[in-house]
Structure 1
Amino acid sequence: MRQRVITAVVALLIFIPILYFGSFWIDIAAVALALVALSEIFIMRRKIIVSLEAFIGAIGIVTTVLPAASFKWLPGTLTQGDLLGIVIAALLVLTVTSKNKTSYDDIGVTALSIIYIGTGFHYLAAIRNQDGFAMLMFALLVVWLTDSGAYTFGRMIGKHKLWPAISPNKTWEGSIAGVVVAMIFAAIYVQFVDLGHGAPMMMLIAFCLSIWGQLGDLAESALKRYYGVKDSGKILPGHGGILDRFDSLLFVLPMIHWFGLV
Structure 2
Amino acid sequence: MRTRIITAIVALAIFVPFVIKGGIPLTILISLLGVIAVGELLFMKKRLLVSFEALVSFVAVVVTILPNSFWRLLPAPAFLNPRTLIYLFIFLLLLTTVLSNNKLSFDDAGALSLGVLYIGFGFHFFLQARAENWMAFVFGLIIVWLTDSFAYIIGRKLGKHKLIPKISPNKTWEGSIGGTAVATIVAIIFAESTHFATHFSLFEIVLATLVLSIAGQFGDLIESALKRYFGVKDSGTLLPGHGGILDRFDSMLIVMPIIVLIGLTA
Paired residues for 1:95-244 under 5 Å: 95-130=97-132, 132-197=133-198, 198-244=201-247
Asked whether the 8 Å contact 2:64–2:117 carries over to 1, the reply is yes
Q: How many residues were matched structurally?
A: 261
Aligned to 2:18: 18
Letter in 2 for 1:48: L
Q: How far does residue 75 in structure 1 lie from its aligned partner after superposition?
A: 2.5
Mapped partners of 2:8, 2:173: distance in 1: 26
RMSD: 1.3
Counterpart code for 1:84: I
Contact 2:155/2:175 (<8 A) preserved? yes
Contact 1:64–1:119 (Cα < 8 Å) also in 2: yes
Amino acid across the alignment from 1:155: R
Deviation at residue 203 of structure 1 after TM alignment: 2.5
Shift of 1:194: 2.4
The answer as to whether partners of 1:19 and 1:133 remain within 8 angstroms in 2 is no
SS at match of 1:169: strand
CA contact (8 A) 1:38 1:58 kept: yes
Whether the aligned pair in 1 keeps the contact of 2:119 and 2:253 (CA below 8 Å) is yes
Contact 1:186 1:199 in 2 (8 A): no
Shift of 1:173: 0.4
Shift of 1:68: 2.8
Amino acid at match of 1:94: T
Aligned to 1:31: 31
1:236 to partner: Cα distance: 0.5
Per the alignment, residue 90 of structure 2 pairs with 88
The separation in 1 between residues aligned to 2:19 and 2:126, in whole angstroms, is 9
| 1:200 positional shift | 3.8
Kindly provide the amino acid, as one letter, of the partner of residue 242 in structure 1.
I
Describe the superposition over 1:164-206 as per-residue Cα deviations: whole angstroms up to 9, x where unpaired: 0100000000000011011111122124322123544322211
Dislocated runs of 4+, deviation >4 Å: none
Normalising by structure 1, we get a TM-score of 0.96
CA positional deviation for 1:89:
1.2
Instruction: Determine the structure 2 residue equivalent to 1:251.
Output: 254
Q: Residues of 1 paired with 2:134 and 2:22: CA distance?
A: 8
Q: Percent identity?
A: 48
- Tell me the amino acid that sits aligned with residue 83 of structure 2: G
Q: Secondary structure at the match of 1:170?
A: strand
Greater mean alpha carbon deviation, residues 159-168 or residues 18-27: 18-27
* Residues 160 and 173 in structure 1, CA contact (< 8 A), matched pair in contact too: yes
Shift of 1:247: 0.5
Contact 1:209 1:252 in 2 (8 A): yes
Q: Could you list the per-position Cα deviations for residues 127-168 of structure 1 after superposition, in whole angstroms to 9, with x for gaps in the alignment?
A: 1112x1111111011001000110000010100000001000
Cα distance change of structure 1 residues 94 and 74 upon mapping to structure 2, 3 Å threshold? farther
1:27-74 Cα distance to aligned partner (Å, 9 max, x none)? 111101111110001111111111100000011101100023323333
Structure 2 partner of 1:62: 62
What CA distance in whole angstroms lies between the structure 1 residues aligned with 2:189 and 2:3? 31
Q: Which amino acid aligns with 1:137?
A: V
> What are the superposed Cα offsets for residues 72-124 of structure 1, whole Å, 9 maximum, x if unpaired?
33324332211111111111221122121111111100000011000100011
State whether structure 2 residue 2 is matched by structure 1 residue 2.
Answer: yes
- On the 8 A contact 1:239/1:245 being kept in 2, the answer is yes
